[in-house]
Amino acid sequence: MAKSAKAEIDIFNLINSESYSDHVGHQNISHLVEKVEDTKDIWLVYELGGESLSSALFNVKGEFYKSERIYFIHHQDLYQAIKSSKKTM
């Protein structure tokens, strides 16, 4: 659990850095407000409201083709920026 919490903290710190503040959707996603650790737990406190993170990162469209549902996933600019910066970290 601590590993996934640390990864989430890293991603939200990256999103909240000045490098990403001008990307579309930045103001619409929930932001990490505070991290609290005690002897047993890590508490992540988020601001609620706005667009979901998945909507800010992906645009998913589906249509039927030969009786099957086919999905097209468009990665938004914020996703591309995070992906490229994670490779350099």
Q: What is the pLDDT of residues 4-57, one digit of tens each?
A: 888 888 877 777 776 766 766 666 666 677 788 888 888 887 777 666 777 888
At residue 48's C-alpha, the angle toward residues 57 and 23, to 5°, is 35
52-72 pLDDT, tens digit each: 777 888 889 999 999 999 999
Q: Which residue blocks in the chain are alpha helix, DSSP H?
A: 2-15, 53-57, 77-88
Please check the confidence at residue 89 and state whether its pLDDT lies above 50.
no
**3-state SS class at 68:** strand
Asked if 59 and 74 count as a contact pair (C-beta separation under 8 A), the reply is yes
pTM: 0.41
